[in-house]
Amino acid sequence: MGTFSPGFHGRARGLADKLPPGQYPTESFPVLSAGPTPRVPTETWTFTVTTENGDSRGWTWDEMMALPQEDTVHDIHCVTRWSKFDTPWRGVPVDAFLEDVETAADYAVAVSHGGYTTNLPLEDLLDGKAWVVHTYDGFPLSPEHGGPARLLVPHLYFWKSAKWVRELRLTLEDEPGFWESVGYHNYGDPWREQRTWDD
Amino acid sequence: MAADWRRAHLVERLPQTATARSLAFTVPGWPGHLAGQHVDVRLTGDDGYQAARSYSLAAPAEGERIELGVQAVADGEVSPYLADGLPVGADVEVRGPLGFWFVWRPEQTGPVLLVGGGSGVVPLTAMIRAHREAKSPSDFQLVYSVRTPEDFWYGDLLSEGADHLDVDVLYTRRAAPGSSRAPGRISADDLRGHVSRLAGAGTVFVCGPTAFVEAVSDHLVDLGRDSGSIRTERFG
Amino acid sequence: MGDTPLHRDGNWLAGPLSEILAVEPTRAWWRCPTCGMAGPLAQLHVYGPEPGLTARCPGCTRVALRLVKEADHVWLTMGGATGAFRFRTA
């Protein structure tokens, strides 16, 4: 150590109580992507909840916007080590979509336009811990950041907050998603630094 | 083949533009390389944190000496450090040479059209130097798209009228004084004459930002080039 | 380069794949089972490098390969929903 690249520190990593281990704070909002950015018009947008029995319930954009809306502010933590504090969102708590759904599922897979998936325990989506958001900092969510609507699960690493979300599929068994199936941690708690498979 | 990381010693840094540098390293045990290949450069922080990025080789190898082109990207983690932070005389690690698709070999005798956008000219410069060193009979043309005259890399080597090379410079934002073409993005018309000179033979190498490469590839296909004779390299 | 949503291409997979393959991979030929487009690995569209590398068909964006680098391991899956291999590299 110390014999290569003297004076290289990577991005400045500071200390703060709000900062999970191994993270650095950023003012910018980096865009990470595993594929082309889908363009999803709100006219044809739908959001569907499908149970383990195959029963499904759907919402159009207008129906989603007619549900009770919440303004919510969170710190977000990306597994690529940036954290962004006090990000302001507006959207619908996931609870609202699951209110009348009969299910015995313990898990959910969020499915996005473009084929991205991510898996979570169902309880991590309930009790005001997760939202389907459509507005960031007062403006419609841009396509680069997952617009017209993305999942927001701020207590887990940000790859769990699926961009361009179109469906929640409830499952009895845990089904690893796009990154979870290639080495990333199945749960992804930033405070326990659950980045990779065996963390 | 588990490419090994080798120690690379920075021996020279030359400014190319306000934000671009060419860096010369000596790499003990360097096996040589082909024009168009690249290396991965790895940096290590005091705490063991590592970051690796790919950079194109800008020249044929001279023994253990290699040359890389580095464009400092605002907000980048690695490129600003390589461009201005790494002291001459210090070491980094490199892995390579890498890539066997985007390469020109001196034994290729067909005509070649090189189309570079911005720092995408770096691997094309390696091909131009290899072509000159080999005294290759292959007909070489370069179409070089840059924003302004100040963004021009390798001015002595790539200027219009250079020996053994037909260079066509296209400015996208502000042209050089006396330039007859109005500034603007590369069009099919800009490429038409160059493509007809290939007469359906040879290879086209395109390197630059992704949007540039996509646009040039579309123009080339529109002008009748078989997509199998177009080799592209995108750097994001 | 990482912070851009634009893709790069398979030329840049040469280094990461060199850790686990015995043969230089960028000339390897691949035919997309979805749209039929064929070409070398070098011309796949590649997103990343973080959180991982995703290589897609230039014609229809079908996933051709995914690679995630850890300190001492590389995870690789060929194709979309097939299982990943975890290679020890150090």
Token digits of residue B45: 């922080």
Report the pLDDT value the prediction gives residue C3, as an integer from 0 to 100: 35
Classify residue B106: in a domain, yes or no: no
Spell out which residues of chain C touch residue A32, defining contact as CB-CB under 8 Å: 2-3, 5, 50-51
Spatial distance between the Cα atoms of A95 and C18, rounded to a whole number of angstroms:
47
Question: Mean per-residue pLDDT for B197-224?
Answer: 95
Strand pairing report for B38-44 and B20-26? unpaired
Higher pLDDT, A97 or C50: A97
Instruction: Examine the domain organization and report whether B139 and B32 are in the same domain.
Output: no
Report the pLDDT value the prediction gives residue A1, as an integer from 0 to 100: 46
Instruction: Examine the domain organization and report whether B67 and B25 are in the same domain.
Output: yes
Alpha helices in chain C (DSSP H): 14-18
Each residue's pLDDT tens digit, B153-185:
998 888 766 667 899 999 999 999 988 999 999
Classify residue B78: in a domain, yes or no: yes
pLDDT category of residue C2 using cuts at 50, 70 and 90 = very low
Spatial distance between the Cα atoms of A13 and A4, rounded to a whole number of angstroms:
20
Residue type, B168: D
Check CB contact under 8 Å for C21 and B52.
no
Annotate B19-82 with three-state secondary structure.
CEEEEEEECCCCCCCCECCEEEEEEECCCCCEEEEEEEECCCCECCEEEEEEECCCCCCCHHHH
Check CB contact under 8 Å for A179 and C54.
no
Q: Which of C3, C18, C42 sits opposite B102 (nearest CB)?
A: C42
Instruction: Examine the domain organization and report whether B59 and B127 are in the same domain.
Output: no
Question: Mean per-residue pLDDT for A52-67?
Answer: 97
Classify residue B157: in a domain, yes or no: yes
Return the CATH architecture of domain A46-192: Alpha-Beta Complex (3.90)
Strand pairing report for A82-93 and A131-136? antiparallel
Distance from CA of C17 to the nearest CA of A (A): 15
Classify residue B88: in a domain, yes or no: yes
What CATH number is attached to the domain comprising B20?
Answer: 2.40.30.10
Each residue's pLDDT tens digit, B106-151:
999 999 999 999 999 999 999 999 999 999 999 999 999 999 999 9
SS3 category, A57: strand
Report how far apart, in Å, the C-alpha atoms of A112 and of each of A15, A121, B154, B220 are: 35, 17, 45, 35
Distance from CA of C6 to the nearest CA of A (A): 7
The last residue of one of the domains, among B98, B127, B150, is B98
Report the pLDDT value the prediction gives residue A15, as an integer from 0 to 100: 52
Average confidence score pLDDT of chain A: 94
- Which ipTM value was assigned to this complex? 0.90
Residue whose C-alpha is closest to residue B233's, from B213, B217, B219: B213
Spell out which residues of chain A touch residue B46, defining contact as CB-CB under 8 Å: 1-2, 9
Distance from CA of B86 to the nearest CA of A (A): 6
Distance from CA of B52 to the nearest CA of A (A): 11
Check CB contact under 8 Å for A32 and C3.
yes
Interface test with C, best of A181, A196, A199 (most C CBs within 10 A): A181
Question: Mean per-residue pLDDT for B92-98?
Answer: 96
Check CB contact under 8 Å for B1 and C22.
yes
Spell out which residues of chain B touch residue A28, defining contact as CB-CB under 8 Å: 75
Report the pLDDT value the prediction gives residue B2, as an integer from 0 to 100: 56
Which domain range does residue B93 map to? 5-98
Alpha helices in chain A (DSSP H): 61-66, 94-98
Token digits of residue C40: 């070398």
Each residue's pLDDT tens digit, A96-131:
999 999 999 999 999 999 999 999 999 999 999 999
Residue whose C-alpha is closest to residue C74's, from C22, C7, C20, C10: C20
State yes or no: pLDDT of B7 exceeds 80. Answer: yes
